[in-house]
């Protein structure tokens, strides 16, 4: 090891960690990686081929070759491992050293770690990062939170390695504490919703219209040239053409229909419920992943009850048009719900989030990047305190113009016994939000009847309770 002092340290040399190291090096920064897995260390050293990058399994060597104050990035799995890494590092860290957690940590853990390290004058930042392995290598969307002055120490590096949208870096300081990890959590919740909606569109076209993989590729490719243009629509079109290496089939037809999750979608639903913010499409997406895992039970139920025997006799082109409208409508509602949650969380947790900035940094690099985000950025630019995008003229118009398609698609799905729960949730959310009256008065009456929970009236102020005519 030469006497080189490295700008940054990277703990965790998996695919994401290595790719980010290469990205940082390409942009002029020197990085030393650390991993207890010696094979990963040797792989990085062999492939790097440059003095800007090194790697080691020796913690002392790793720490001693970093410039001071030290800046260390952690890219390890969320949970106990992060705490273990911090505990191992802490005795060797000094005042003004900076730890940056680039993993998908729960925002409450980030708050706890920040407070504990600040007692020793060691800085901590929770940084969300999205884009997968290619994003890490060529430019991800980066969502940093923590002290603003600390962010400014690393801002130029983050801007350099981030994705660019309209020549603007897809990174900005989001807010104090756990703001970065909270925004990344909601990003992933939106991602869950989008993926479920696209899967429902696929289900309808495959079952109702009996479309082949080639036809599905053509449809999704065309959609990606219009209002639905997005990363997820783009890769979906490509997926239908991917050949299987083990058989003569397309790989999509050989993949088990049982999806998994790492928890960030469920975390989004959990905190939305705590904050009393309705995000039904995201909730349903989480539930459908859970339901998909009951593969054996679903097969038994199918054998016992089967599916609908109704056959689609309509025009296939009409169905494609309806599904396109339905997908656009419901995708809008996912972003609407995610942004509404961020607006409430910003006030509750004192993040002071700028939703215009969040939409801007999601335009490139991340999994949920889409043409629609430019419209979202514009809406919040005009109305920064907008509580819900449905209330903006631009988005209310988009939803009104595309609602015919989703109503027809839901009718079709119900008629054929094809589940479209996320689309149903999207439409129900829209119809409920724009309804000046909902039957919650009956719910309040029931609560007061059985539990004396009281209620409010629509004709006068105050809290009321009625002695109901209950049967003894």
Q: How many domains does the chain have?
A: 3
The domain in which residue 460 lies consists of: 439-472
Average pLDDT on 268-292 reads 97
CB 399 within 8 A of CB 430: yes
**pLDDT tens digits along 98-117:** 999 999 999 999 999 999 99
Which of 150, 177, 204 lies at the terminal end of a domain, its last residue? 177
The answer on 89 and 191 residing in a single domain is no
Question: For the chain, first and last CA: distance in Å?
Answer: 86
Q: Is 397 tagged catalytic?
A: no
The answer on 449 and 380 residing in a single domain is no
Report the CATH number at residue 465.
1.20.5.320
pLDDT score recorded for residue 3:
64
Q: Is 42 tagged catalytic?
A: no
Confidence bin at 306 (pLDDT 50/70/90): confident
User: Phi, psi (5° rounding) for residue 255?
Assistant: -85, 130
Which of 136, 156, 177 lies at the terminal end of a domain, its last residue? 177
Average pLDDT on 194-201 reads 98
Task: Please give the structure tokens belonging to residue 288.
Answer: 């459908």
* Active-site annotation holder among 115, 156, 168, 184: 184
pLDDT score recorded for residue 364:
96
The answer on 320 and 411 residing in a single domain is yes
Q: Rounded CA gap, 15 and 213, in Å?
A: 30
188 is in an annotated binding site: yes
Average pLDDT on 206-222 reads 96
Q: Rounded CA gap, 146 and 150, in Å?
A: 7
Confidence bin at 43 (pLDDT 50/70/90): confident
CB 62 within 8 A of CB 56: yes
Whether the per-residue pLDDT at 308 is higher than 80: the answer is no
The answer on 451 and 345 residing in a single domain is no
- 400 membership: H or E segment, kind and range: helix 393-416
- Residue 255 in domain: yes
Report the CATH number at residue 192.
1.10.1040.10
Q: Rounded CA gap, 192 and 186, in Å?
A: 10
Q: Rounded CA gap, 332 and 427, in Å?
A: 11
The answer on 424 and 309 residing in a single domain is yes
- Residue 372 in domain: yes
294 is in an annotated binding site: no
Q: Rounded CA gap, 245 and 239, in Å?
A: 14
- Residue 1 in domain: no
- Residue 291 in domain: yes
433 is in an annotated binding site: no
CB 341 within 8 A of CB 277: yes
274 is in an annotated binding site: no
Q: How far is CA 392 from CA 278, 312, 343, 385, 399, in A?
A: 18, 37, 15, 11, 11
State the average pLDDT for the chain.
94
- Residue 3 in domain: no
Q: What is the pTM of this model?
A: 0.95
Q: How many CB atoms lie within 10 A of CB 419?
A: 15
The answer on 450 and 414 residing in a single domain is no
The answer on 303 and 235 residing in a single domain is yes
Helix locations, 119-178, DSSP H: 132-138, 148-161
The answer on 328 and 219 residing in a single domain is yes
Q: Rounded CA gap, 32 and 387, in Å?
A: 44
The answer on 322 and 257 residing in a single domain is yes
Task: Please give the structure tokens belonging to residue 300.
Answer: 């038994």
CB 426 within 8 A of CB 325: no
* Active-site annotation holder among 191, 200, 227, 324: 191
pLDDT score recorded for residue 46:
82
Confidence bin at 471 (pLDDT 50/70/90): low
pLDDT score recorded for residue 4:
73
Helix axes 179-207, 393-416, angle to 10 degrees: 40
The answer on 359 and 210 residing in a single domain is yes
pLDDT score recorded for residue 48:
79
The answer on 84 and 211 residing in a single domain is no
453 is in an annotated binding site: yes
**pLDDT tens digits along 424-456:** 999 999 999 999 999 999 999 999 999 999 999
The answer on 113 and 254 residing in a single domain is no
């Amino acid at each position: 090891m030469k006497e080189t002092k490295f700008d940054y340290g990277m703990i965790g040399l998996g695919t994401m960690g290595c790719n980010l190291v290469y990205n940082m090096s390409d942009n002029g920064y020197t990085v030393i990686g650390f991993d207890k897995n010696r094979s990963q260390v040797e792989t990085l050293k062999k492939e790097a081929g440059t003095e800007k990058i090194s790697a080691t399994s020796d913690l002392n060597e790793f720490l001693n070759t970093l410039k001071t104050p030290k800046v260390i990035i952690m890219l390890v799995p969320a949970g106990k491992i992060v705490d273990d890494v911090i505990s191992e590092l802490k005795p060797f860290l000094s005042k003004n050293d900076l730890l940056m957690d680039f993993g998908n940590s729960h925002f409450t853990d980030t708050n706890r770690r920040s407070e504990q390290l600040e007692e020793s004058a060691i800085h901590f930042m929770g940084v969300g990062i999205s884009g997968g392995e290619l994003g890490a290598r060529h430019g991800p969307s980066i969502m940093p939170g923590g002290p603003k002055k600390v962010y400014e120490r690393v801002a130029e590096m983050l801007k350099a390695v981030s994705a660019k949208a309209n020549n603007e870096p897809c990174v900005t300081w989001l807010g104090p504490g756990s703001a970065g990890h909270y925004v990344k959590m909601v990003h992933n919740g939106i991602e869950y919703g989008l993926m479920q909606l696209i899967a429902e569109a696929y289900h309808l076209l495959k079952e109702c219209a009996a479309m082949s993989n080639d036809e599905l590729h053509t449809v999704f490719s065309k959609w990606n040239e219009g209002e639905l243009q997005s990363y997820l629509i783009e890769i979906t079109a490509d997926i239908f053409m991917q050949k299987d290496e083990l058989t003569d089939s397309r790989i999509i037809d050989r993949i088990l229909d049982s999806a998994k999750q790492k928890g960030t979608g469920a975390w989004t639903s959990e905190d939305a419920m705590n904050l009393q913010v309705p995000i039904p499409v995201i909730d349903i997406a989480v539930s459908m992943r859970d339901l998909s895992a009951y593969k054996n039970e679903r097969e038994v139920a199918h054998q016992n009850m089967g599916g609908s025997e109704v056959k689609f006799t309509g025009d296939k082109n009409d169905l494609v048009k309806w599904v396109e409208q339905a997908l656009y409508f419901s995708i809008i509602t996912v972003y609407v719900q995610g942004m509404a949650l961020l607006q409430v969380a910003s006030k509750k947790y004192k993040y002071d989030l700028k939703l215009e900035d969040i939409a801007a940094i999601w335009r490139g690099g991340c999994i949920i990047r889409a043409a629609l985000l430019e419209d979202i950025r514009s809406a919040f630019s005009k109305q920064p305190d907008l509580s819900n995008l449905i209330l903006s003229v631009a988005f209310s118009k988009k939803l009104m113009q595309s609602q015919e398609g989703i109503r027809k698609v839901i009718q079709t799905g119900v008629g054929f016994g094809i589940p479209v729960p996320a689309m149903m949730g999207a439409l129900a959310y829209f119809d409920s939000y724009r309804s000046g009256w909902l039957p919650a008065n009956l719910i309040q009456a029931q609560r007061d009847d059985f539990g004396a929970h009281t209620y409010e009236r629509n004709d006068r102020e105050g809290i009321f309770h009625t002695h109901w005519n209950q049967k003894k």
